[in-house]
Amino acid sequence: MTRELTDAAFLADFAELSAIGATAAGGVHREAATAADGHAREWLRAWFVEHGLHPRVDAVGNMYGCVEVAAGAPYVLLGSHLDSQPTSGRFDGAYGVLAGAYAAATVAAEVADRPGAARHNVAAVNWFNEEGSRFSPSLMGSAVYVGKTTADAVLDTVGKDGVSVRDALSRIGFQGDDVAPPANSYAEIHIEQGRTLEDEGLDIGVVTSNWAAYKYVVTVHGEQSHTGATHMRYRRDALVGASQVVLAVRAVADEFGLDTVLGSVGRFTVEPNSPVVVPARVRLAADLRALDGETVEAAHLSFLNKIADITGAGEVTVEIESAALRPSTRYQDSGIALAGTVADDLGLRWRAMPTMAGHDSVNLKELVPTVMLFIPSIDGVSHNEREFSTDAQMLAGLHTLTETARRMVTGALETAHVS
Ligand code: HGY
Ligand code: MN
Ligand code: MN
């Protein structure tokens, strides 16, 4: 028996899902493969079963809710991620997973009544560890899906708490052995996380490309000593050097003019982090982003020069452990055109725009035609418990995703390809 798929049911389900790992201030704290993520996953699996989607869990914890409506055909995948950053918002990722599940169940039920209508199968997806907060890097589950990395490399990754992905996933019962459904195409809806749609009074963003990003892991090496007994000229304070690295990231961003390059240090770990001890080592995670590859490369070079200057000053040594580039690439024109037509047909106000943040769709578009949709974020706030989108904004997005999925399942992207 399938349950009703109304707007009211969607909002009630979103409230239920948001209660899992909820914080007092209205957010969620649901990092990848923690107990809270496990509970959210169990909730989703139960939802899949109640709504006639067949659950599968692959080796890296990606969850799929599959419906076979075109025997043997590949799948239109619809999804996002249930994991969150620490003390974060309840919309980032979770909104897209639930919207994907509703769209999949709705379209599957419709085509089941019209034999031959579906050209592809349809599945909802929850990708493992989009955020990269507990286990680095981000976009892990979707990276395995598209073949950018291997399941073993992911499972062997050790998180900030010393637990491996393998152990964390098996503790919550989500290290599966199901085969991932093959994709024909992918669609994802997400909150914008910036202010463009709100500032322009729009309902929907259709994403055309992703910003390029460099992600760094940096270690600043100094020497542990007594804060009270070491002469200033003899001390090698890793925290002073690390502070210079933080300001170097800001200085790089400032060099390029307003909002052309974005960057911050997000994680900062001081060792031994004790009163009366000059820090020996600081490990930090930083990122630098720009719309295009040329600008991000220029920002990268500027950052490297500043790092060399900090080391050159002689007190500390700054080591770049890793510098990973996420290039800017385009979403397929066929998907952009389809989503724009759907928004027009639904009478919604929309614009084409790039995404500054990373999403699983950034990976998926390397494999299959991919549609990425945004709804507005109130005040552009995200990765914050104050993250908010209105019910009307969420429902406008749900309707856009559902109609886009309806057309994808019945072959609209293929038609767009040949025209
Ligand atoms: O935006 C990011 O870098 C992350 O992958 N979501
Ligand atoms: Mn997200
Ligand atoms: Mn996020």
Per-residue model confidence as pLDDT tens digits over 262-298:
999 999 999 999 999 999 999 999 999 999 999 999 9
Nearest partner of 385 among 13, 29, 17, 19, judged by Cα = 29
> In a mutational test of the pocket of ligand 1, which residue from 139, 140, 387 has the highest number of ligand atoms less than 8 Å from its CB?
139
Q: Is 231 annotated as a binding residue?
A: no
> In a mutational test of the pocket of ligand 1, which residue from 131, 135, 363, 383 has the highest number of ligand atoms less than 8 Å from its CB?
131
CATH of domain 7-210+329-410: 3.40.630.10
How far, in Å, from the CA of 384 to the mean position of ligand 2?
A: 12
User: Do 215 and 287 touch, CB atoms closer than 8 A?
Assistant: yes
Q: What is the pLDDT of residue 415?
A: 75
User: Could you tell me the residue ranges of all domains in the chain?
Assistant: 7-210+329-410, 212-326
Residues of the chain whose pLDDT is less than 50? 1, 417-419
Per-residue model confidence as pLDDT tens digits over 70-129:
999 999 999 999 999 999 999 999 999 999 999 999 999 999 989 899 999 999 999 999
**H-run or E-run covering 121:** strand 121-126
Q: What is the pLDDT of residue 271?
A: 98
Alpha-carbon Rg for the chain, nearest whole angstrom, is 23
How far, in Å, from the CA of 348 to the mean position of ligand 1?
A: 27
Whole-prediction pTM: 0.97
- CA-proximal residue: ligand 1, atom 4 (nearest): 358
Distance between CA atoms of 68 and 87, rounded to whole angstroms? Answer: 38
User: Do 90 and 27 touch, CB atoms closer than 8 A?
Assistant: yes
Reading the block at residue 251, the tokens are: 């200085």
In terms of Cβ atoms closer than 10 Å to its own Cβ (0-12, 13-18, 19+), residue 233 is exposed
Task: Give me the percent of the chain exceeding a pLDDT of 70.
Answer: 98
Q: Can you tell me which residue has the tokens 């009307």? A: 392
> In a mutational test of the pocket of ligand 1, which residue from 359, 360, 377, 382 has the highest number of ligand atoms less than 8 Å from its CB?
359
Q: Is 403 annotated as a binding residue?
A: no
**The dihedral formed by the CA atoms of 9, 78, 85 and 287, expressed in degrees to the nearest 10:** -150
Q: What is the pLDDT of residue 416?
A: 57
Q: What is the pLDDT of residue 125?
A: 98
CATH 3.30.70.360 at 212-326, yes or no: yes
Q: What is the pLDDT of residue 1?
A: 45
How far, in Å, from the CA of 95 to the mean position of ligand 2?
A: 9
Q: What is the pLDDT of residue 419?
A: 39
Q: Where are the beta strands (DSSP E) in 149-253?
A: 183-191, 204-210, 212-221, 225-226
Tell me whether domains 7-210+329-410 and 212-326 share a fold.
Answer: no
Measured from the CB, is residue 357 less than 6 Å from ligand 1? Answer: yes
Q: Is 319 annotated as a binding residue?
A: no
In terms of Cβ atoms closer than 10 Å to its own Cβ (0-12, 13-18, 19+), residue 312 is exposed
Question: Which ranges of 25-158 would DSSP assign to H, the alpha helix?
Answer: 35-50, 94-112, 140-145, 151-155
